[in-house]
Amino acid sequence: MMTSDQEKTRQRLKQLLGKPGNGNCADCGAADPEWASYTLGVFVCHSCSGLHRNIAQISKVKSILLDPWSSSEVEFMDSVGNNAAKAKYEQIVPAFFYCPTHKDCTLLREQWIRAKYERKEFMCVEKQEPYSAGYREGFLWKRGRDNGQYLSRKFILSEREGVLKYFNKHDAREPKAIMKINTVNATFQPIKIGTAHGLQITYLKDNSTRNIFVYHEDGKEMVDWFNAIRAARFHYLQVAFPGASQSDLLPKLTRNYIKEGYMEKTGPKHTEGFKKRWFTMDDRRLMYFKDPLDAYARGEVFIGSKENSYTVIPGLPANTQGYHWQFGITIVTPDRRFLFTCESEGDRKDWIAALQTVINRPMLPQEYAVEAYFKHKP
């Protein structure tokens, strides 16, 4: 008798997955969730179910396929479901707030889940103060530019002044660096930085990219900083581009890199040996570093569009010498050719695909100004 009851219950649960909204994870949007929180009434993916376990006082999870379910639990799942839970727990998510997907790091997904169900930040606007106030100050561990040691530094984000700044001494009057909000970017880099809460902040200094690597032991604190930067960027862009729609501006608040990894490169004359460097494709800037955590790039190449004579070709010119890795790439710009080699065919494919997406995208008016700057750079 038991088995057939269990079988019926399981069939009902599977049917519930077919209801609108239930076919994707309630928290990260991954397709075909196989877990559910039977206290919140949401269907979630395996990865998010693990994060729900961290808020066990609020959320209790079970596998749809493997765990026994009572009929009352199934009734509850039926009465709530993902769409109703979203309407309740995501009532007032600010436009600038970063809502993670299944591709995002654990920290962003965990703090999103905690913000929704544990802290109920999107049911009560006062709870959004830490990132929506337009001003934020606090201490973050910052990686030293030259020695790689992390030291506590005071950071201040001021939307009114349009800057993010940090101070080397706790009582310092003058900031060590002033980063203008219009060029600031922030992206979580747990693997590269080697800590789950690691954030890479970049800004332009004399039109060259400067990297700053920071973290905080408290995950909420770190994600609040990230969303505060997004809020400041959002308000800056609304003023800078008054005619632009929200959907035009939101993708520009922060960006992840298109691709990063090691390649070998040679110099402009193509006569010196190839050297292994860390490359970052950030929008239209292809930068290379001696070490992934360097503060400044050794060089940056502007990647324009195909209409402007930029192309990427697999392979190297016939007479090229001095390379160790066998999988070559040639980037042709209006001024010169750049030669790179990759360690594997798979790597080369990925780099070419990444470069191609940028080259296929028509250039924006403001990108012509950036291109002109690169051309006149000494």
pLDDT higher than 90, residue 207: no
pLDDT of residue 271: 80
Residues 210 and 284 grouped into a single domain: no
Q: Which residue has the tokens 């038991």?
A: 2
Q: Are 69 and 60 a contacting pair, CB within 8 Å?
A: no
pLDDT of residue 378: 56
For residue 186, is it within any domain? Answer: yes
Nearest C-alpha neighbor of 85 from the set 127, 124, 56, 113: 113
C-beta atoms surrounding 91 within 10 Å = 12
Q: Which of 65, 95, 118 is the last residue of a domain?
A: 118
Residues 247 and 263 grouped into a single domain: no
User: The domain spanning residue 26 has which CATH number?
Assistant: 1.10.220.150
Residue 5 — very low, low, confident or very high, per pLDDT cuts 50/70/90? confident
Strand ranges in 34-182 using DSSP code E only, listed in sequence order? 35-37, 42-44, 61-63, 135-143, 150-158, 163-167, 177-180
Residues 114 and 144 grouped into a single domain: no
Which sign, positive or negative, has the C-alpha torsion 359, 363, 368, 373? negative
User: The domain spanning residue 342 has which CATH number?
Assistant: 2.30.29.30
For residue 161, is it within any domain? Answer: yes
For residue 68, is it within any domain? Answer: yes
Please name the residues in contact with 275: beta carbons below 8 A apart, sequence gap of 6 or more. Answer: 264, 265, 266
Nearest C-alpha neighbor of 330 from the set 257, 289, 319, 367: 319
pLDDT higher than 90, residue 64: yes
pLDDT of residue 138: 97
Residues 70 and 179 grouped into a single domain: no
For residue 123, is it within any domain? Answer: no
In this prediction, residues 135-156 reach a mean pLDDT of 95
Residue 239 — very low, low, confident or very high, per pLDDT cuts 50/70/90? very high
Please name the residues in contact with 176: beta carbons below 8 A apart, sequence gap of 6 or more. Answer: 153, 165, 166, 167, 168
User: Which of 82 and 147 is assigned the larger pLDDT?
Assistant: 82
In this prediction, residues 40-69 reach a mean pLDDT of 97
pLDDT higher than 80, residue 73: yes
In this prediction, residues 268-292 reach a mean pLDDT of 93
Q: Are 39 and 58 a contacting pair, CB within 8 Å?
A: yes
Q: Which residues partner with 205 through β-bridges?
A: 208
pLDDT of residue 212: 97
Residues 88 and 195 grouped into a single domain: no
Residues 111 and 26 grouped into a single domain: yes
Q: Can you read off the two tokens belonging to residue 377?
A: 């750079």
For residue 124, is it within any domain? Answer: no
pLDDT higher than 60, residue 2: no
Domain range for 150 is: 129-252
pLDDT higher than 50, residue 59: yes
Q: Which residues partner with 327 through β-bridges?
A: 342
Query: What DSSP assignment string belongs to 308-337?
Result: GT-EEEES--TT--S--SSEEEEEE-SS-E
For residue 71, is it within any domain? Answer: yes
Query: What DSSP assignment string belongs to 110-136?
Result: HHHHIIIIIS-TTT-GGGGHHHHSSEE
Residues 104 and 162 grouped into a single domain: no
pLDDT of residue 286: 97
pLDDT higher than 80, residue 236: yes
Give the chain's mean pLDDT: 95
pLDDT tens for 158-201 read 999 999 999 998 788 999 999 999 999 999 999 999 999 999 99
Q: Can you read off the two tokens belonging to residue 365?
A: 């008016």
- Total-model pTM: 0.94
Q: In whole angstroms, what is the distance from residue 61 CA to residue 252 CA?
A: 36
pLDDT of residue 3: 65
pLDDT of residue 290: 95
HSE-CB for 34 with a 13 A CA cutoff: 6
pLDDT of residue 213: 98
Residues 196 and 244 grouped into a single domain: yes
Q: Can you read off the two tokens belonging to residue 39?
A: 């206290």
Q: Which residue has the tokens 């909204």?
A: 21
Residues 317 and 241 grouped into a single domain: no
pLDDT of residue 1: 46
For residue 60, is it within any domain? Answer: yes
- Could you tell me what percent of the chain has a pLDDT over 70? 99
For residue 248, is it within any domain? Answer: yes
Residues 243 and 315 grouped into a single domain: no
pLDDT higher than 70, residue 218: yes
Q: Which of 63, 92, 118 is the last residue of a domain?
A: 118
> CA dist 270 to 84, 330, 355, Å?
61, 12, 21
pLDDT of residue 115: 98
pLDDT of residue 277: 97
Q: Alpha carbon 233 to chain centroid distance?
A: 15
Residues 52 and 155 grouped into a single domain: no
Residue 267 — very low, low, confident or very high, per pLDDT cuts 50/70/90? confident
Q: Which of 252, 283, 312 is the last residue of a domain?
A: 252
Domain tally, the chain:
3
Q: Alpha carbon 181 to chain centroid distance?
A: 17
Residues 23 and 134 grouped into a single domain: no
Q: In whole angstroms, what is the distance from residue 85 CA to residue 104 CA?
A: 22
